[in-house]
Structure 1
Amino acid sequence: MNSRRQFVKKGVLGVAAGSMLGSTKTLASVMDSPKAEDLKLGFAGYTFVHFNLEEALKMIEKVDVNYLCIKDFHLPFDSSAAQIEAFHNQLKASGIKGYAVGPIYTKTREEIDNAFEYAKRVGVNMIVGIPQKEDLQYLDGKVKEYNIRYAIHNHGPEDKLYPNATVIVDLVKHLDSRIGLCFDMGHNMRDGHDPIKDLKRYKDRIFDIHLKNVTAATADGKTCELGRGVIDIPSFVDMLRKVKYSGVCSLEYEKDMKDPMAGIAESVGYFRGVTDAR
């Protein structure tokens, strides 16, 4: 796997070099340093919505990423114990760990119950979800009952429930500490909120990160390759380390979703170049 990682770095060396402006490190140190390992890189399962599990795992293997947030189109809610075991075995064979499930949209308390039972059966300790605001107090009881963390996902200006991190934290700050957010930094920026400042401000409630960049800090902004957007990724990485973020940074790549491999490889290589260089 290390040889594949070095290949990815070399393939985007020019991008990584660009991230080193103002740094005293050499390009050789970018290639050799293991520092990137202090930040866990994964994938949001939605990245692979147009691919079956086997196809998705092949793409993830190519860039040597080891974590996946599981979507139900790869592991259905009604999967049997045998199907769940087979799923995990497939991931393990590819060197990948399924660390959470979601995002899961729920409109009723019964659907919240089903989400927690699903997470329990899958064997993960976190749900990424989008509950109704009136169900947040009910959610408080469920995280206590199951001891499974619940990360609410923000979806930008089109989302009337949770457009940004501030809205979520204001709603959950008096609830159980196991209720927090899956911080979609791109949608946060599209809603006019600085993802670097919000990462610092809400660090104790950020359980998961959807790693992405966007073309503009407006509703019209589109997901793009990680190094090509308006978010200062090197500064974001610096803040991840400053706040001692210990969760997964899951790349959610939503450009060219039916043919995403080039953008995925560039984004992974850029992230590793930045994290190694700083």
Structure 2
Amino acid sequence: MKHYLTKKIGALVLFALVAALPVSHVKGQSYPEKKLGWSLSAQTYTFKEFTFFEAVDKAKSAGLQSVEAYNGQELGGGIAGKFDYKMDAATQKAILKELRKKGVKLVAFGVVNGNTEAEWKQLFAFADAMGIQTINSEPKEEFLPLVGQLATRYKIKVGIHNHPNPTPYWNPSIVLAAVATANSDYVGACADIGHWVRSGLDPVACLKQLEGHVKSVHFKDLEAKSPETHDVHWGTGVSNVAGVIAELKRQGFKGNISAEYEYNWENNTEDVAQSVKNFRQILTAGSL
């Protein structure tokens, strides 16, 4: 009980410090992450109960200008079908046109895999046509050399994503071995900090282990250090959000950070908005 109260009090103190920051800290720089070469996006799986374009609208209302799509979400927006790398060129153009109208960029896609060489080639061609900068994936080991070749050819980053233990890439040492096999400067890690916490790992230590190889981030803050836990507003949980931000800055990370808020599924837009606000205030405060 004492440990629990200490954790809760620490989280509340951090949150209070963030909330108390004067407006001058963020005035004139609503998107401070851009100065570091970061894009802060929503992984549309956060809004999986809705269509892709409903998710885009929710991301925009939460203060985000870009999204990471996931394979299989109904498109909506007057466009038939699902978000799928096998969609035809006309559907691709329709999606990009609608995104331009909304002022939202599609910067990443994941977690998505190919099951054959042909599918991997199709996936990269699709990402290239859609202007996607990063594919987040959990490739089978046999496809790693091909993924590296395609990533280099298309100049598209690939982040090898970690789900919790005992999935194939749960530990950074496994990811590093896969990166070596892929043998491409464009292939590295998609650091899912929440899943590291679920696996009993320290997210800052994991980032240090992956230094120089972090291509993208899936951002979460969790209520407890346990496999059975849930998302909370960033900076109020156990994921050491301030430490993660500081470590990414120290490493000179450049790339996409996707908000994944996998809780309160039908009404979590405000949760994402508050998390984004907290992230930007912690980033701007610097010393927290």
Give me the TM-score of the superposition, normalised by structure 2.
Answer: 0.81
Is 1:18 matched up with 2:16? yes
Is 1:243 matched up with 2:239? no
Give 5+ residue unaligned stretches, structure 1. 1-13
Q: Is the 8 A contact 1:215 1:222 kept in 2?
A: yes
Over 3 Å counting, the alpha-carbon distance change for 1:120 and 1:235 in structure 2 is same
SS for the counterpart of 1:213 is: coil
Question: 1:230 offset after TM fit, Å?
Answer: 0.5
Is 1:107 matched up with 2:115? yes
Q: Is the 8 A contact 1:157 1:219 kept in 2?
A: no
The AA in structure 1 aligned to 2:27 is: D
Question: 1:26 offset after TM fit, Å?
Answer: 4.8
Question: 1:121 offset after TM fit, Å?
Answer: 2.6
Q: Is the 8 A contact 2:40 2:257 kept in 1?
A: yes
The count of residues paired between Structure 1 and Structure 2 equals 261
Is 1:215 matched up with 2:190? no
Q: Trace 1:1-278 onto structure 2 (pairs within 5 A).
A: 18-20=16-18, 26-32=21-27, 34=29, 35-38=32-35, 39-72=38-71, 73=73, 74=75, 75-159=83-167, 161-174=168-181, 175-278=183-286
Question: 1:206 offset after TM fit, Å?
Answer: 1.0
Tell me how far apart the structure 2 counterparts of residues 123 and 248 of structure 1 sit (CA, whole Å). 14
Tell me how far apart the structure 2 counterparts of residues 36 and 126 of structure 1 sit (CA, whole Å). 18
Question: 1:16 offset after TM fit, Å?
Answer: 7.8
Q: Is the 8 A contact 2:15 2:236 kept in 1?
A: no
Give me the TM-score of the superposition, normalised by structure 1.
Answer: 0.84
SS for the counterpart of 1:203 is: coil
Question: 1:132 offset after TM fit, Å?
Answer: 0.7
| Residues 145-154 or 248-257, more deviating | 145-154
Tell me how far apart the structure 2 counterparts of residues 121 and 26 of structure 1 sit (CA, whole Å). 42
Over 3 Å counting, the alpha-carbon distance change for 1:148 and 1:121 in structure 2 is same
Question: 1:116 offset after TM fit, Å?
Answer: 1.6
The AA in structure 1 aligned to 2:16 is: G
Q: Deviations over 1:196-229 (max 9, x none)?
A: 1222332321111001112233322333322232
The AA in structure 2 aligned to 1:239 is: E
The AA in structure 1 aligned to 2:22 is: L
Over 3 Å counting, the alpha-carbon distance change for 1:125 and 1:87 in structure 2 is same
Tell me how far apart the structure 1 counterparts of residues 42 and 186 of structure 2 sit (CA, whole Å). 22
Tell me how far apart the structure 2 counterparts of residues 157 and 200 of structure 1 sit (CA, whole Å). 19
Q: Deviations over 1:235-275 (max 9, x none)?
A: 21111211111112110110111221221122112112212
The AA in structure 1 aligned to 2:48 is: V
Tell me how far apart the structure 2 counterparts of residues 28 and 263 of structure 1 sit (CA, whole Å). 21
The AA in structure 2 aligned to 1:244 is: G
Q: Is the 8 A contact 1:106 1:130 kept in 2?
A: no
Tell me how far apart the structure 1 counterparts of residues 66 and 206 of structure 2 sit (CA, whole Å). 24
Tell me how far apart the structure 1 counterparts of residues 225 and 23 of structure 2 sit (CA, whole Å). 34
Tell me how far apart the structure 2 counterparts of residues 261 and 20 of structure 1 sit (CA, whole Å). 20
Tell me how far apart the structure 1 counterparts of residues 107 and 33 of structure 2 sit (CA, whole Å). 19
| Residues 50-59 or 176-185, more deviating | 50-59
Tell me how far apart the structure 2 counterparts of residues 243 and 15 of structure 1 sit (CA, whole Å). 27
Tell me how far apart the structure 2 counterparts of residues 37 and 100 of structure 1 sit (CA, whole Å). 16
